[in-house]
Structure formats: C-alpha cells, structure tokens
Chain A
C-alpha cells in the first residue's frame, strides 16, 4: 500500500489490519481505526468534493462532526447508498466505496465550476433579482436549471433493506460527551453510586485529549492517552453506569427528554452487518443532564481561505497523533492563539517540517510559542495570511503585516510556499444542546465566544462547552461542579500539567490589500457564502441575523453553521457596530447532527405502520375470499367475490340475497358502550336528541348524538338491558371519540350523575342476520328465545343461549328487512358465525360485506354518519325532526340548533335522487346544480353523498344533500360531469318499502 503520507509510527490505528476501500472508483488502503478522511489524507488525497454554488474544489477541513467540505456518497447498491456523509466521521471498513458529490463528470474536472466564473454577477440573493423576464421563460427554462442544480448527494432509489429500532431509557444523570470533562464527571457520579448514562458520538472516548501533546499535558502524572485508558477501564467496572459510543445526542427537549442516535453497524464490513440493527434511536428521560460537549475550533476568514490543503490546526494535530498521518510536507500555520503552537511542536517532533507560523498577535507569553522559537520555527508576529494560491491544492500563501489596530495591512507582502496551511481562530463552545433546551447565552467580550448564561436546576454545562478552557480548569471544574450538582461529598485530587497559555486576540475578517469587492473570503464553505455576501445583505437592509442567514444561506449547510456561524455573527457585529452580546445568535435547531429518517421511524413501518384491528370472524372472511375495507384501524369485510366475480356483481348478488333469502353481516366493529348506574336514563336524555326515560326494559331505540355546535356527531341503537343498565352502539369510526366525549361530560359537567361507562367494543362479536328467513335461522341457532312477534317485536332484545353460550339478541334492522343481531362473547364469535352459516344453508344464507350493507341501507334512506353528514349537517337538515325532542330542557347541541343560520329554512337538506336514465349510476361526491351553464363557475346547490345501482329496485338510486331540498321534491336538477350532464329528479329518501312491512315479513 502506498500511504506515502503515513508516519512510520504512532496513532491509535491498528497497523496490522489493512483495509481496502474505494474512492471515486480507485482502490486505496488504510488501517483499521482510520476514518475515510484520515485514510485519504494518508494517500495524499485532499480534494474531496465541490461546493454547492460555485463548484469550487473543496478538501478535508476538519476531523469531525463539524466538517463542511468533505462530504461523500457511500455506495453499495441502489437501495443502500448514503448521501452527504462526512469523510471525517466514516470509519473505514473492508468494502467501503465512496464517491465525491456535486460534480460532473468528475471531482477533478467539474463542468459546474463554470459558476465560479459567473460569481461576480451572482452574489447572495441574486436569484431574487432576476429570472423574472420574460415571465414565460420561468417555468421551463430558468426554474428548470435552478432545480437541476439543486442538491448535493443522491437519494437511494430502492427500498432501504436495513433495520432500525428504538430504545427508551431512564437515568439519574446523562452525561453528553466523553472528553476529559465528561469522563471526570462520569467517574465522580458513578463513584457516588448514581445511575449514569455516558454517551459520545465518536468511537473512542477522551475527546481532544486524545491528541494532546504528551510532553505538555499530564493528569495525575499520566500521559493523556494513559489517563483516558485508565479512566475508561475504571468506568467500565461500575455497575451503575451505561456507556455508549458512536451515539450522538440529536435533540434536547423540554423536561430533560433527549433523543440520541446510536450507530451500530455502519463501521462494520458488509459481511458483519447482516442481520443486525443498523441504527438505534434512544429516547432518554434524565433526572439531570450534564453537557460536556466540548468546543469547535474556528477557522480564519481571509481571501481564498477555502482551498484544499487549508485545514484546522487541531485537525492536523489529530491526524498526526491519532492516525499517524501527515497532512502535508511543507506546512504553515495561521493563528491567533497558542493552541496552534502545540500543533507545530507535535508536527515538528514527528519530523514534519513546519516552515512558518503567522500570528496576528504582537507576541505571546505562553510556553509553547517560546518552544517553537527555540525549535527554529519562523514566527511572523502581527501578520496575517491575506491570500492563497493553488486551484485544487494550496501551494502558496501571501503574508503581510497588520496595522496596529488590525484594521488594515501594512508593508510588503511575502509569498511563502506550502502544501498545507493550518488555521486556528480559537475555540467556540458547542452550546447547541444547551440552547435547544431553552438555555440563554452570554457573550464573553474578551474571549469572543458565547457561553451558557446559567445552569438550571436539572442541567449544567462543564468544560469547554461552558467556556472553560485549559486542562486544569476543565478537570477541576468538572469534578467540583458535578459534586455540587449531584450532591456528592467525596473528593478526588487531580494534579495537572499543562502548558502556560498566552493571550487570545480575535479578528473576525482578516483585512486585505485588495479592495474588498475583489476578495472571496468564505464564511460558509459548503454554501459558498462569503464575507462580501454578508456585507451585501447588511447593505441591503437585512439587519437581523436571521435575515442575513436566510439571504446569504450562511449557516444553512449540512453542518448547520458549526464552522460558519461565529464569524458570520462577528462580521455582522463589526459592520453594524453592534456588540455581539446584543446581537444574539441564530437559533440552534435539532438535530445537532443529521440523523436518518430510518432511525427516527424505527420499526414502525411496513406491517408495523399501524395496528390492524380484526374482528373475531376475520379468519372466516379471509377463508371465504373476502375483500377488506379499512375503516379506521379495522379491517371490515367489504364484499365476498365468488370466483372471478367483479366487485359490482358480488355486491349486487349479496344485496339481492339479503332481501330475498337471508344475509349475514359481521357488525362486530360497531362501538359498544356499557352504561350502568341509577342516572343512566337521565344521562342518555342529555347526550341524545330524543327522550329516553320511557324506554321499557328490553327495548331498543335509535339515537342521534350531536356536538354542542348542533351538528350530527354519531348515531346508533341503544338497548335497555335493565332498570339501570343500557348498552349503546356507536359508529365504527366514532367508538373511541364518543366514549371519550361521554366520559368528559360525565366527569366534568355532570359529576352529580351516578353513571358508569365501560367500552365493550372488543368484548362482543356481533352477527347480524337479515332477510325473510332470518327468524328461522335464529330459531335453529339459539335456544331459550321465543321469536314470535308478540314476544319479540321489532326494536326489542332477548337473552338467550347458543348451546351453552350466553347471547344477547336484538331485533333491530339497518337494512329494512326482518333482522336480528346476535351478540356473543368475542372468542365465541367465529363458531356462532359458522353455526349461523350452517343453519342458514338451506335458506340460501349469503354473507354480505360493508358495500352491500351500505347499498341496502340506502334503499331504505338510512344515513351513514360521515357519509351523509360532514360536520355541517343538523338533524333537521336530515329531515329527522322527529328525533329531536322539543320537550327536553337541554341535550348536547340543542342550543346551537336555534341560531340564525341553523334555523334557516333553506339550508342544505337530505333528499333522494333518481336519475333520468335508471341505468346511470351517479358518482359519489358529484356536485349538483339547478341551472347548467356553458362553463364554470356554476352555482352548486349540493352534492351526491351515496349512490348505488339497486338490484332490488332495478334502478339506480342516490342520496344527496341539497340546498332547500325539502321543497324541491319532484324538481329536476343537474349533475355536470366532465364529459356530460346528468339529469336527476329529487325524490324521497326512502326508495323501498316505505311502510316498513318487510321488518315483520
């Protein structure tokens, strides 16, 4: 393997395990423990992708989650491909294949880079100012090209075969981040017996301490790596701690509810991924939360600061120390603080040439710059990099002195050759999760960062995310604050060695020797927004940070401004002469780093998308070839095609059989509420529109329930089982909401009523047998019931037996036929159903589904709530005045029936429709007019709610809601369809057996 940029030793990689992977089709090698970024750098590859707008070459810039540039597409096949992954986070594995994004034909030669030439005329927000003329070109030309340019990586095109799941977790304390602060806090808490959950998004713990220089940093006499190793081992021995790596906290919600995503297999070779959960979403409720999320190094903003080969100083140090990779051979460093000097010393000690350090400060009294000086590294004090050269890789920097107040440059520029420029602009506390939780920030005017204003009762920030820098401060603070936060007495002593640190000086935008319009100083690398874009936005009056962000798209790339935001704010503050503390920040929104939809959804897709409710007779329906209809979560038998019978034919056959012989329907899905108590009758009086106190025991009554706005809400038959005992039926869809509404009224408005409600929908199977032979069938199936009309008239009920099983039989009808409903305990449902089928065989019993049921009831003009009604229909509109009690003092919805609009005579009312051509079947939902015009608009006076071809009447029938319909009986109306107009006559809603003779047939 070539790996010409791999150091001969060092790093936390496993040099005995060589891994091959592909990048842009080329086979490369790395070691176990490498990230894709470190492996590419080891192979000397910096150029990874192209920026969004100008398609400028972009290289690896960071070593972690904050990476804005090095985005790749992982490709396995059409189903398993992942766009926009950060090369800095991908752990390489055997078989990994990655490609560059947003470039064509290749990352090295990208035609899109022509945009870079146009960049002078396409500043921030240019699209708002153009593409408007001529308007006709917008849709097919301008918009076409804008949309074509959209996006970075590509979506998979086949279904994701991977599995994801969810886990719920409760703990006393959740510690986010396992850098030095998090490790100390975890040990302090675990040692005191607290139930701790410690998570870190990286595979290894220790954070930035992992690549700290061991000559300058020691904890309790131990080198950083040794201390991390020892601490992690100690932690693992506590039974009361759970530790998760590769787990990123995405969101910090109210009441300490946190969402985390754990990556379980992405780092494994393909063969080891099989059968395993890919990612797991954790939903954590923590009594207390400790945020130890660290800080993110800032870049420097200067002309052409975006070239491949310009990297964060800490990242270069990490690649060298943790991966044994040198990012260049001839290195310059540009800094405003001492931390970059640690990088210089580390590289120098590893034999990598550090040619020069350009420091904007006059001097530093820290120990590291002094050491660099001693090592002979040239330091250019009070200087800045103002330009870089090299298209696909940096090869030169231009360096110049800064004026006393840092506002301009002085003297002559110096050109320095280099193949790598490390930049270090100081550190920004990672306060994302803190602000997500609602925490407010303060601004430190000396150190130029935002930090948490105060720790609340249930959470605190420690370490550099709290604005605490320096190893000693971090360790001490973490220990002491954790003790206080968790009320722990035990103290541990730490002895810390750290370098003496010099001051920090900040320039948000490095001045240039050019006029600013000619510079391209990138603030948001991925979205190509520059300092000039920000200035343009401000010039045009976009004053608020949010405006600037939206106008320039700064901070809106896939890193969500982790790199860009601070400098954008700094530049705004400078240009507008506003203190940063007063300017505030933009809102950090979840997730902290992107999480897959798959993990968010977990197992709740496909067959687990929603529960399926099946009736006790479901298996029988399936066996007899039923087609099912979804009604809410229920599967209801829709129709039973025999052989290759069409739906239409099946429904016609079923409907005919139900009236001529016998039909059997599974009505188990209807809601059933058991009502008991001494005030049960009064309760029904208040919830239904009709009167209930005179209903005799053993009798059934139809009821209509309104909302308090007067509109029909539900209907069903209620049976009085005893003096203080009723069973109410509701519509299938309304069962749960009716139950909820009744409970609500009972508990909150009428607590004086002695009534108890129990939902028994699932406890009973309901079998409806109708038709002229139904009585004979019931007589065969049940015992102990006298079916004579005198003993068991319509709208009454009897207790009986089916063999040894108790049953309730109601003589009620939704078809207009003689009809009985048998209710038995649900688990006997199928056997009783089968008994009915056997008993009915000689009478031609025919199972019918919901479609035939709808047809049959339409022949009788019975409404279906939700089909004839839509929340705007009153009982009066339904011509059901008879069911609205005038005598009752009140019932739910009564008052609303007497408002100026609801008492109008000409409201939309329930009518029947007969088509001129009896073969013509109207479309449900079709609109009705009184007068047909040549073209729209036409005055619509109503719509068709139900429509069928009636096999029993041999003509089509329809139900409708029509304005002033009561008075239009016999009148002709029209239904203008797209291709024809259909003439209809308004009729009564009852098409069959107006006298109701069939009920007693």
Chain B
C-alpha cells in the first residue's frame, strides 16, 4: 500500500510499480573468472535485511524506468528515492 515517488513521474500508487530486489548488486563483469562459490554468492545469496534496505523498483505501469529507493522493511517506510547510478541521499 505504499506510495512511491517515482523520480521521473512523481507520487504514484504502489500498484503501478514492480519490485526488483536488493539494489547495488553489480553483475560481475567477468563471471567466468569467478569460483562457483563466488557466482552463487552473486546469484542467490541476499542480505534480506530487516531495517533499511536499498532496493530496486520499476515503474512498470508508468514510465517503465528502473530506480532505487531505501525503505525500512520493518515498517515499510520509504526514506529516499534515487535514480540508477545515483547515491542515496542518506
């Protein structure tokens, strides 16, 4: 039931967006050079944080742009919204 402030469109109901998981997990540039363990770490292992999480959202029923936000997963409060490539404000 969030309201998400899309950095491109403004405040919209959460139903317009889709969730894209933990943010700032950079896909390795050279996957073939990773061990199975390291690859599994990237592919599957997650912090799954209870507290402030940096996460990806897509305005899938709007501008279709991906962006990041920080949200407290213990109360669903959104603290900041920022574009891909930007740093969170806090």
Q: Which A residues fall within an 8 A CB radius of B?
A: 253-255, 257, 285, 438, 708-709, 740, 743-744, 747-749, 751, 889-890, 894-896, 898-900
Contact = CB atoms under 8 A, between A and B. Distances in A.
Given A744-B20, A747-B65, A747-B66, 14 more contacts: A253-B1, A254-B76, A255-B3, A740-B18, A740-B60, A743-B64, A743-B66, A748-B66, A749-B26, A895-B31, A895-B34, A896-B39, A896-B43, A898-B32
Contact of A747 (B2, B39, B84): B84
Interface string B66-78: 1000000001100
A213 to B, nearest CB: 43
A894 B58 contact: no
Contacts of A744: 20, 58, 66
B1 A894 contact: no
Nearest to A890: B31
Contact of A895 (B20, B39, B76): B39
A751 B85 contact: yes
Interface string B20-44: 1000001100111010100100010
Contacts of A740: 18, 58, 60
Contacts of A894: 31-32
Contacts of A899: 36, 39
Interface residues of B, number: 25
A613 B18 CA distance: 22
Contact of B36 (A254, A749, A751, A900): A900
A659 to B, nearest CB: 42
17 contacts: A253-B1, A254-B76, A255-B3, A257-B1, A285-B3, A708-B27, A743-B64, A743-B66, A747-B65, A747-B66, A747-B84, A748-B66, A749-B27, A890-B31, A890-B32, A895-B32, A900-B36
Interface in B1-25: 1-3, 13, 18, 20
Contacts of A285: 3, 13
Interface string B36-54: 1001000100000000000
Contacts of B34: 895
Contacts of A709: 43
Nearest to B36: A899
A748 B32 contact: no
Contacts of B76: 254
Nearest to B26: A749
A708 B43 contact: yes
Contacts of B31: 890, 894-895
Nearest to B14: A255
A255 B43 contact: no
A254 B2 CA distance: 7
A889 B39 contact: no
Contacts of B64: 743
A438 B32 contact: no
Contacts of B84: 747-748, 751
A319 to B, nearest CB: 40
Nearest to B77: A254
A748 B55 CA distance: 12
Contacts of A889: 32
B19 to A, nearest CB: 12
A511 B21 CA distance: 58
The 5 closest A-B pairs by CB, nearest first: A895-B31, A253-B1, A257-B1, A747-B66, A254-B1
Contacts of A895: 31-32, 34, 39
Contacts of A255: 1-3
A438 B66 contact: no
Contacts of A900: 36
Nearest to B44: A709
Nearest to B39: A895
Contacts of A751: 84-85
Contacts of B58: 740, 743-744
A257 B34 CA distance: 46
Contacts of B85: 751
A748 B43 contact: no
Nearest to A892: B27
Nearest to B56: A748
A748 B20 CA distance: 11
Most buried by B among A257, A890, A895: A895
Contacts of B3: 255, 285
Most buried by B among A253, A255, A709, A896: A255
B75 A438 contact: yes
A896 B36 CA distance: 8
Most buried by A among B1, B26, B65: B1
Contacts of B56: 748
B68 to A, nearest CB: 9
Nearest to A739: B64
Contacts of A254: 1-2, 76
A748 B21 CA distance: 13
Contacts of A890: 30-32
Nearest to B64: A743
Contacts of B66: 743-744, 747-748
A582 B25 CA distance: 43
A254 B74 CA distance: 12
A900 B43 CA distance: 15
Contacts of A749: 26-27
